[in-house]
Amino acid sequence: MKIIITIPSQTLELFADSGELLRRYSVSTATNGAGEENGSYCTPRGKHIIRAKIGAGQPANAVFVARRPTGEIYTPELGAQHPRRDWMLTRIMWLCGREPGYNRWGSCDTMRRYIYIHGMPDEAPVGQPGSHGCVRMRNADVMELFDLVSAGTFVEICV
């Protein structure tokens, strides 16, 4: 399987090894656009893999901090209590760059930047930029994708 994320269209597409399109999801990438540099709050381009899958068995809307479930379940009321919190919900797929000097190692390392594909509050908009660099998805979509892919799945982020 292979994932292609296209920043201009704010889409994530999952392809079978045969090239058949299996799923297409609307996503939300970085408000700051595309870029690889640490501290840029941009979505990194290029070739990646899913390095780790986190959250199997957690309920929809489970809240994660530092890749650990907090025991909280997101609700709009919880969101209103913490309006500046960057919500990572339901599942996390941690990305690792595959291109040394571009998105791996040094000041442009995707994994060290903690770039994930993860769930987000369902009332937040998708189909437009809005993240701090990650690729955000609706919770039902991220649960489905999580169950379809494995660690090591190829991911390409394109502009």
Q: Which CATH number covers residue 139?
A: 2.40.440.10
Separation CA 26–CA 124 (nearest Å)? 12
Q: Measuring CA to CA, which residue among 45, 15, 33, 41 is closest to residue 145?
A: 15
Please tell me the distance from the alpha carbon of residue 155 to that of residue 45, in angstroms, as a whole number. 10
pLDDT digits (tens, 9 = 90+) for 92-126: 999 999 999 999 999 999 999 999 999 999 999 99
The predicted pLDDT at position 110 comes to 97
Q: What digits encode the pLDDT tens for the residues 58-101?
A: 999 999 999 999 999 999 999 999 999 999 999 999 999 999 99
pLDDT-based confidence at residue 32 (cuts at 50, 70, 90): very high
Instruction: Please state the domain count of the chain.
Output: 1
Provide the domain limits for residue 133. 2-158
Helices (H), 10-158: 76-81, 139-148
Q: Which is nearest to 40 in space by CA: 97, 88, 103?
A: 103
Q: Contact, 35 vs 110, CB < 8 A? A: no
The pLDDT score that the predictor gives to residue 112 is 96
